[in-house]
């Protein structure tokens, strides 16, 4: 009858053997393994901070932690971790007004003169002046440039 080779059980294959080393004992290695299992994408500095909370007197460098990660095959991918942006549903944009100038390269001054002729800025300037007055009444000691602009500048 041929001898069967000893195959590791499933539980042995999932966790490494925690042989105590010079810097870390078996308990610290087990805690470190557990932290890496909980958050494998966690940066090494954060893992070390969490390890310091569990085991206060542990003196391990990031380099040593990265060696352990490589040994246990728990390394993070290279580069900065990507943060998923959670975007709120966007509202439909309002209709855009397209202006086609008759003259090429219309300057800001011509556009400002057109806005003055249309009278579109007058209500806006009045609202800004009222807001400045209200702010100045509530904050008498405040002093910054917006509080001292002339109406022409606004």
| Domain chopping of the chain, boundaries | 17-72, 108-148
Helix axis angle for 26-38 and 62-72, nearest 10°, is 70
Cα 34 off chain centre by: 26
**pLDDT at res. 17:** 60
What is the number of residues in the chain? 154
What are the distances in angstroms from CA 58 to CA 16, 36, 53, 66? 20, 16, 10, 15
User: Is residue 64 a contact partner of residue 8, using CB atoms and an 8 Å limit?
Assistant: no
**pLDDT at res. 33:** 86
Tens-digit pLDDT string for the chain (154 aa): 455 555 555 444 455 665 666 667 778 888 888 888 888 888 888 888 888 888 777 788 889 888 888 888 888 777 776 666 666 666 666 667 776 666 656 677 777 788 778 887 788 888 888 888 888 888 878 777 677 777 777 6
Alpha-helix residue ranges (DSSP H) falling in the chain? 10-14, 26-38, 44-54, 62-72, 108-118, 122-138
What are the distances in angstroms from CA 67 to CA 32, 47, 75? 13, 14, 9
> For residue 148, what are its two tokens?
């001292």
Cα 38 off chain centre by: 21
């Amino acid at each position: 009858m041929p001898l069967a080779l000893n195959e590791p059980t499933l539980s042995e294959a999932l966790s490494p053997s925690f042989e105590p080393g010079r810097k870390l004992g078996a308990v610290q290695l087990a805690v470190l393994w557990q932290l890496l299992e909980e958050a494998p994408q966690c940066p090494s500095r954060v893992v070390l901070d969490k390890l310091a909370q569990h085991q206060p007197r542990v003196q391990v460098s990031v380099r040593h932690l990265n060696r352990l990660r490589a040994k246990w095959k728990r390394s993070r991918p290279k580069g900065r971790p990507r943060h998923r942006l959670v975007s709120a549903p966007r509202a439909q944009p309002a209709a855009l007004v397209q202006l086609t100038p008759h003259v090429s390269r219309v300057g800001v001054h011509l556009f400002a003169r057109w806005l003055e002729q249309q009278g579109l800025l007058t209500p806006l300037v009045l609202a800004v002046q009222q807001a400045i007055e209200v702010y100045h009444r509530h904050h008498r000691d405040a002093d910054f440039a917006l509080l001292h602009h002339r109406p022409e500048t606004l």
